[in-house]
């Protein structure tokens, strides 16, 4: 029987794995070997490389080598400097001042100045996925060549966290490249990162080459997440789009690819016995199925009935196949996280069928058809949908499955009609402010309320971490009673690499800074 107390045990095992695997990475005082090509295989083609604009994981997996943010999250979800060497808020919290690194060069040879940071910040504020949180921003200007000032009409205590988010990242581009360019329409990919853009062969590969003019401002600082030292040991990185799982796995086995991700847990045993391959297991997806509140599920009683009825363990085992591939967690955060509040434990995995039926009766539900929209593009999405529909159909909900490709699902979920639940997932969030757009009424499904806007507003405004945690606890308690979706648990994925690839850290996405090929 897979029970909740396994979470703590598995977290302990993860920490042990982290300590072992991090010891194999290149530390700041070690040297790797320069030269060669890193061939990477991934499943998805990025819809755009415009990192300001999108939350797409496929975009981030390329853009993080080209661009850098003013501030970044490290591997422990702490905010660290990058292109901004320091920053501070005024006493009233309405003015933020950022001091930039000096002498940083873009890939086109131009020096980065405050003018570039201002143009980039203005564009990010206007088009990023979290722009609703940035509406209070009133002005952004250069104070001198290396100082930027941002003013707001209301406190945005979470501003550094918003800027550091890895999705919709606040990166700096040359002013002439980004100024006035609409979201998703960026055509020049010029940044300050250790690798620079070379070629994009659509639906095939993206090629990056070493940037010899990189600033190396953090040489000697231990690499951690997006922070710290970044050495470009490889001459080039080629990121290949390979949607067929069998081709991806075979490519790693033959040596065509040096690194591939993701590898689903059911595929990992095939590779475990291969002495030429190393596997890394990491927590990847917090599964969710979001409600459409514009339709019949605008009735909170029906949404709550679904949540309290479900056996989450049964759903997660349908997804992960084995207990070791899943975690039964009520939140996006594990118990050892600063952001774990425990509030959603009160409404998680209750399996309260009678309580659910009572709520359905109170709501006057009479078997109206509900559309579950999902995709087979991600196996976990389809398996989750099947698990939810099978259980809820047994207690009287009438479901129709609508199985579409991923782009179609993304297109349809933006509409107010034609669906009632869609399957999705989020990667581990370094800060819950990353999910603020889900609760403001402008995300697919339209979920919002005065109460959740108030709690998320507190989370946004406060600078004190303890007060921010208190606001998040109130938000999670409210979501327990007023659910926006179904959150069954957490899944794991694997990353595979050839045994001669060194310096690859254990992280929930591939990081090829400081990675090199060991020469025979």
Whether the predicted pLDDT of 168 surpasses 60: yes
Rounded CA gap, 335 and 210, in Å? 40
pLDDT band at 406 (very low <50, low <70, confident <90, very high): confident
Torsion of CA 192, 193, 197, 202, to 10 degrees: -120
Element of type H or E holding 510: none
Quick one: which of 417, 377, 55 has its CA closest to 385? Answer: 377
Q: Are residues 359 and 469 in the same domain?
A: yes
* CATH value at residue 183: 3.90.76.10
Quick one: which of 55, 52, 58, 87 has its CA closest to 71? Answer: 87
Whether the predicted pLDDT of 24 surpasses 90: no
Whether the predicted pLDDT of 361 surpasses 80: yes
Give per-residue pLDDT as tens, 264-312.
888 899 899 999 999 999 888 889 999 999 999 999 999 999 999 999 9
Whether the predicted pLDDT of 14 surpasses 70: no
Per DSSP bridges, beta strands 37-42 and 259-263 are parallel
Q: What is the pLDDT of residue 12?
A: 37
Rounded CA gap, 42 and 203, in Å? 11
Residue 329 falls inside a structural domain: yes
Whether the predicted pLDDT of 341 surpasses 60: yes
Element of type H or E holding 252: helix 245-254
Quick one: which of 338, 323, 395 has its CA closest to 365? Answer: 395
CB under 8 Å to 167, separation ≥6 — which residues?
54, 55, 56, 57, 60, 129, 434
Mean pLDDT of the chain: 92
Whether the predicted pLDDT of 359 surpasses 60: yes
Is it true that the peptide bond before 43 is cis, omega within 30 degrees of 0?
no
Provide mean pLDDT across the span 51-77. Answer: 95
Residue 504 falls inside a structural domain: no
Q: What are phi and psi of 242, to 5 degrees?
A: -135, 90
Q: Are residues 183 and 299 in the same domain?
A: no
Element of type H or E holding 229: none
Residue 177 falls inside a structural domain: yes
Q: Are residues 145 and 288 in the same domain?
A: no
Q: What is the pLDDT of residue 9?
A: 36
CB under 8 Å to 298, separation ≥6 — which residues?
none
Whether the predicted pLDDT of 138 surpasses 50: yes
Q: Percent of the chain at pLDDT above 90?
A: 79
Give per-residue pLDDT as tens, 122-136.
999 999 988 989 999
CA 126, 132, 134, 137 torsion-angle sign:
positive
Q: Are residues 288 and 402 in the same domain?
A: yes
Per DSSP bridges, beta strands 326-327 and 485-486 are unpaired
Provide mean pLDDT across the span 51-70. Answer: 95
pLDDT band at 20 (very low <50, low <70, confident <90, very high): very low
Rounded to the nearest angstrom, the gap between the alpha carbon of residue 489 and the centroid of all alpha carbons in its chain is 16
Q: Residue 138 is part of which domain span?
A: 48-188
End-to-end CA distance of the chain: 47
Provide mean pLDDT across the span 26-33. Answer: 68
Residue 267 falls inside a structural domain: no
Q: What is the pLDDT of residue 305?
A: 99
Whether the predicted pLDDT of 13 surpasses 50: no
Whether the predicted pLDDT of 22 surpasses 60: no
Q: Are residues 337 and 462 in the same domain?
A: yes
Whether the predicted pLDDT of 150 surpasses 60: yes
* Tally of CB atoms within 10 A around 63: 25
Boundary residue ending a domain (188, 216, 235): 188
Residue 150 falls inside a structural domain: yes
Residue 194 falls inside a structural domain: no
Provide mean pLDDT across the span 511-518. Answer: 97
pLDDT band at 26 (very low <50, low <70, confident <90, very high): low
Per DSSP bridges, beta strands 490-498 and 259-263 are antiparallel
Picking from 49-53, 281-285, 295-299, 382-386, which range would have the lowest pLDDT averaged per residue? Answer: 281-285
Rounded CA gap, 291 and 26, in Å? 44
Q: Residues 373, 379, 383, CA angle at the centre, nearest 5°?
A: 60
Boundary residue ending a domain (188, 220, 255): 188
Q: What is the pLDDT of residue 285?
A: 83
Boundary residue ending a domain (165, 188, 211): 188
pLDDT band at 53 (very low <50, low <70, confident <90, very high): very high
Q: What is the pLDDT of residue 17?
A: 43
Whether the predicted pLDDT of 365 surpasses 60: yes
Give per-residue pLDDT as tens, 441-492.
888 999 999 999 999 999 999 989 999 999 999 999 999 999 999 999 999 9
Q: What is the pLDDT of residue 429?
A: 82
Q: What is the pLDDT of residue 29?
A: 54
To which residue do tokens 């209750």 refer? Answer: 350
Query: What is the token pair recorded at 339?
Result: 């952001």
Rounded CA gap, 244 and 42, in Å? 10
Q: What is the pLDDT of residue 28?
A: 53
Per DSSP bridges, beta strands 236-241 and 205-210 are antiparallel
Give pTM, 2 decimals.
0.86
Residue 251 falls inside a structural domain: no
Q: Are residues 464 and 345 in the same domain?
A: yes
Q: How many domains does the chain have?
A: 2
* CATH value at residue 447: 3.10.105.10
Residue 446 falls inside a structural domain: yes
Whether the predicted pLDDT of 254 surpasses 50: yes
């Amino acid at each position: 029987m897979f029970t909740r107390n396994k979470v703590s045990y598995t977290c302990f095992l993860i920490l042990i794995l982290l300590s072992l695997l991090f010891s194999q990475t290149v530390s700041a005082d070690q040297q790797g070997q320069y030269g060669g090509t890193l061939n990477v295989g991934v499943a998805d083609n990025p819809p755009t490389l415009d990192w300001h604009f999108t939350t797409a994981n496929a975009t981030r997996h390329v853009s993080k080598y080209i661009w850098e943010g003013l501030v970044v999250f490290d591997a422990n979800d702490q905010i660290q400097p990058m292109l901004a060497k320091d920053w501070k808020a005024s006493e009233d919290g309405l003015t933020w001042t950022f001091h930039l690194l000096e002498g940083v060069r873009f890939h086109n040879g131009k020096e980065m100045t405050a003018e570039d940071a201002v143009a980039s910040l203005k564009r990010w504020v206007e088009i990023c996925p979290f722009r609703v949180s940035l509406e209070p921003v009133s002005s952004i200007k250069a104070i001198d060549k290396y100082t930027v000032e941002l003013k707001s009409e209301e406190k945005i205590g979470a501003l550094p966290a918003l800027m550091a988010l890895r999705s919709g990242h606040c990166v700096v581009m040359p002013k002439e490249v980004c100024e006035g360019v609409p979201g998703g329409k960026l055509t020049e990919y010029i940044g300050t990162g250790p690798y620079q853009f070379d070629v994009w062969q659509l639906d095939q590969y993206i090629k990056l080459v070493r940037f010899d003019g990189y600033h190396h401002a953090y040489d000697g600082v231990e690499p951690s997440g997006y922070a710290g030292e970044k050495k470009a040991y490889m001459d080039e990185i080629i990121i290949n789009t390979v949607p067929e799982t069998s081709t991806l796995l075979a490519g790693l086995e033959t040596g065509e690819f040096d690194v591939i991700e993701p590898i689903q847990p059911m595929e990992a045993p095939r590779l475990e016995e291969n002495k030429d391959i190393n596997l890394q297991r990491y927590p990847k997806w917090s599964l969710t199925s979001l409600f459409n509140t514009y339709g019949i599920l605008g009735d909170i009683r029906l949404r709550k009935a679904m949540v309290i009825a479900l056996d989450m363990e049964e759903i997660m085992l349908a997804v992960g196949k084995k207990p070791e591939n899943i975690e039964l967690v009520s939140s996006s955060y594990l118990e050892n996280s600063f952001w774990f509040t425990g509030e959603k434990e009160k409404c998680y995995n209750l399996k309260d069928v009678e309580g659910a039926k009572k709520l359905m009766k109170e709501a006057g539900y009479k078997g109206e058809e509900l559309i579950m929209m999902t995709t087979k593009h991600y196996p976990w999405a389809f398996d989750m949908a099947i698990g939810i529909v099978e259980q809820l159909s047994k207690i009287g909900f009438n479901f129709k499955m609508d199985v579409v490709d991923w782009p179609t699902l993304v297109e349809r979920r933006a509409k107010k009609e034609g669906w009632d639940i869609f399957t999705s997932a989020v990667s581990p969030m370094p800060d819950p402010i990353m999910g603020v757009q889900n609760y403001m009424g402008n995300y697919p499904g339209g979920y919002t309320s005065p109460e959740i806007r108030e709690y998320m507003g507190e989370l946004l405004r406060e600078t004190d971490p303890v007060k921010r945690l208190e606001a998040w606890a109130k938000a999670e308690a409210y979501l327990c009673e007023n659910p926006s979706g179904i959150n069954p648990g957490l899944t794991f994925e694997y990353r595979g690499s050839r045994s001669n690839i060194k310096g690859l850290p254990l992280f929930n996405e591939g990081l090829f800074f400081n990675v090199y090929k060991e020469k025979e």
